[in-house]
């Protein structure tokens, strides 16, 4: 890896961490598109790499800050983690069975629908 590539990867991780810490979005919303468009990863490789990031406790410092202020419910975190493990396994099996072009479209439609809901449907 070149120094420029290493720096770009660190910047992508930093941006995902900052946005995750600020507004609680999953790193995949930043990391997956960034890996596809800036590093020319396939959709499958980008999604697998993003999931690989979740294995490590990369957000622990952000979690500690929120926990200290009373904004983390450990019971809910544990239950979410149980669901996430099962969902991640089944979702990855499904995604790997799809052609890359179809997977990219599924990802894009999900982001589009989510953004439209947040803009026009969510209650104030």
Confidence of residue 27 (pLDDT cuts 50, 70, 90): low
Asked if 12 contacts 31 with a C-beta cutoff of 8 angstroms, the reply is yes
13: closest CA among 85, 88, 21? Answer: 21
How does pLDDT run across 82-121, given as a tens digit for each residue?
888 888 889 889 889 999 999 899 888 988 998 998 899 8
Place of tokens 């019971």: 75
How does pLDDT run across 7-26, given as a tens digit for each residue?
998 888 888 877 676 666 76
pLDDT confidence of residue 34: 86
Domain edges within the chain: 3-121
Asked if 62 contacts 17 with a C-beta cutoff of 8 angstroms, the reply is yes
pLDDT confidence of residue 124: 65
DSSP annotation of 56 reads S
DSSP annotation of 120 reads I
The Cα 39–Cα 46 span in angstroms is 9
* Residue 37: pLDDT over 80: yes
């Amino acid at each position: 890896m070149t120094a420029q590539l290493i720096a770009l990867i660190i910047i992508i991780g930093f941006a995902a961490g900052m946005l995750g810490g600020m507004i609680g979005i999953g790193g995949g919303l930043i990391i997956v598109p960034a890996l596809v468009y800036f590093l020319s990863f396939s959709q499958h490789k980008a999604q697998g790499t993003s999931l690989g990031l979740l294995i490590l406790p990369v957000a622990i410092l952000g979690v500690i800050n929120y926990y200290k202020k009373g904004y983390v419910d450990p019971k809910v975190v544990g239950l979410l983690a149980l669901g996430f493990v099962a969902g991640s396994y089944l979702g990855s099996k499904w995604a790997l069975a799809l052609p890359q072009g179809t997977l990219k479209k599924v990802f894009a439609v999900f982001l589009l629908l989510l953004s439209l809901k947040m803009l026009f449907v969510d209650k104030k």
